[in-house]
Structures are given as C-alpha cells and as structure tokens.
Amino acid sequence: MTILANNLLLNGLRNEFTDTYQAIKNRQADSRLGLVMDLGVGATNRYHTFSYLNAAPHPEEWKMGDSIPTDAMDAVQFTVEVWNWAKKVPWRKWDRKDDQTQSLFDMARMAGEGHALIPERLFFGLLKNDATDLLPAIPSAPDGNAFFTTNTRFERSGGNQISKAGVTTTQMIQSDYYEALEAFMAFKDGKGQPLLSPETIGAGTIIIHAAASTEAFEIAFRQLRQGIGLSTTGARTSSATITAATAESNIVIDASRNVQLWGTPRLTTADEWYIFLANPPKKPTFLLTREDVIELSAMEGDNNSDQVRDTGEESIQFESRSGAGICVPFGAIKVA
C-alpha cells in the first residue's frame, strides 16, 4: 500500500503550497454552539439514563368542607448512548522518508483536529434528524417524540414546529419569526400555566438557517428599511406587482428584538430554519463526553510495534468517545 503514489516523491518538488490544507481552519467547532448545546455534561459509562420530575401542580380553591385538592407528581426517564469515534491514517515508512515536502506527518495529524468538529456534527445530526453524517442513530426527546414534532407538545397543538410561509420575501420570514415567538408564548407547563416567562422569550433568539438563505435573512433582520408596496389588490407586499412603492421601517428592529443569525452550509434546504431561545431555562441539546481525543502512533523505532517491523506500515490514529442527546426542547422551534 502506498498512499502517496508519486505525488510527493519526485526529486526537486517545491514546497510553496505544501500548507494548502494546513492553512484552512475548518476543524474548529463554531463558537456559537455553546448557545444551543450544553457542552459540560460528563459521562462515566457507555449509556446514561437521565430523569426529571415534571412541573409541580398549581394551587386551586379548597372548598370548605372538601378534602384538600391533590395532584400527583410524575417523572420522565430517557437514555443516551456514548459512541466511539476514531480515524487511522497509515503509510509505509519509506513513503514518509522519501516525502520531498516533509509534510506527511503534520497533515496526518489533522485527522486528530477533526475531533474538534464532533460536537457540532452531533448537534446538526440531532437538528436535522439525520444519521448519515456521524450519529449511528438519532435519539428521541424525553417525551418519546423527535426533536421537532407537530404532535401536541407543551400543551400546544402543533408541538414545537410551525408551517413555513417561505423565505422568498421579507414578510414571509418575519411572519414565521413572529409565529415562532407566539408558539413559545403558547407553551404550557403541563399544568395549564404558561411555561416560559416573557423575560425568557424577550431575551433574544438565535436563528440557524441555510447558507443559501443568507441574503434573505439579513434583509429581514438587519436591514433598517424594508421596500414595501401595494399589490394590485391593495395588500402590503415586498414582491408581486408593486403599484405604489414606499419604504417601511423594520418591525423586528423597531421592536428591539435581539436576533442572532447563524447561516451554515450544514443546512441545505433553503426554506427550512430553526429558532432557539438565547437564554432558555435549559438548553435543548447536550453533549455527553466520555473521553477526549487521544493520539496513538506506530512508527519505526517503537519497540512495541510488530506491525511496523513486519510490514513497514506506520500509522497514526485518534480516538474519542462522546454522545449527544435531546433534553426538553421547549427552547427550540423548527420552521418547515
């Protein structure tokens, strides 16, 4: 096995571009991940089972002569698995020695840097309900449903998902945004009372959207003045046939709504997006960390490496162990 073919073995190769991929910093998790995922949950085993009590009951009238009203407490239990992540990079010892750029080992070690992206990849796997990138299986939320569901959740018909108007106009995006805020306000605690305080909802939101929709979202939430007109029917519009062009201020900015935009190529459906509360009582996802990344190598001169002595095949490998789960998702809504 020769992984280098002849591309790095020719005498006289120049090295101006040997850092082509070393110079690309694409193996660092997005700094905003901690806003939507709890990164501080440790693990001591392959599986961990969590539980919590549902909301306590609220008081009601105690009629004279009647027994005091009672309401039993109930609890929820859910399990999250820890997975093993690894990558091994092999080469022949002669390839390393004859590599004219002397960059093989440094580049191979970038496989270890890739472990820094695992939390972000796990999060987006949960977000998209997608087990094709990294997660072998997508866990359910504690109530047994998916992360986002149109089933009744938090006493709201439609759960924590709303039907999209689209992203082709500013009004569509802003309309969906306010529908999501109203959905947060409609959540109840299982005992018929509002679940989230106005202060929690008013503290701001984080919108995660496809990179392909960046312009549309920045117009909707960043542009001070919106181009508005009247259609032939007299309705306000930012598209269709405009008969009387006007300018209107941005309602989101005028209302002093705090909106953080996170455009990402990890989302590929332009008109599906997600809105997270910036300061929820509990973040809706969490990382379960069992072991941080470790580096293991088999090189010529390692006395314990029979593989190198017998075959001349050297290698470097990186391993880590972690999982990801969904907590109570009252801080997240999908627009789809």
Digit-coded pLDDT (tens) for 282-335 = 999 999 999 999 999 888 887 667 888 888 888 889 999 999 999 999 999 999
CB atoms within 10 A of CB 86: 14
Whether 284 contacts 276, CB under 8 Å: yes
Average pLDDT over residues 66-91: 94
| Confidence label for 2 from pLDDT (cuts 50, 70 and 90) | very low
Q: Could you tell me what percent of the chain has a pLDDT over 90?
A: 68
| Confidence label for 133 from pLDDT (cuts 50, 70 and 90) | confident
Q: Is the pLDDT of residue 258 over 90?
A: yes
d(CA 210, CA 36): 17
Average pLDDT over residues 241-248: 54
165-169, 185-189, 299-303: lowest mean pLDDT where?
299-303
Query: For all residues of the chain together, what is the average pLDDT?
Result: 88
Q: Could you tell me what percent of the chain has a pLDDT over 70?
A: 85
The per-residue pLDDT for 99 is 80
Q: Is the pLDDT of residue 269 over 60?
A: yes
> What sign does the dihedral 299-116-85-18 (CA atoms) show?
negative
Q: Is the pLDDT of residue 11 over 70?
A: no
Average pLDDT over residues 170-190: 97
The per-residue pLDDT for 334 is 98
The per-residue pLDDT for 29 is 78
What single letter denotes the amino acid at residue 269? T
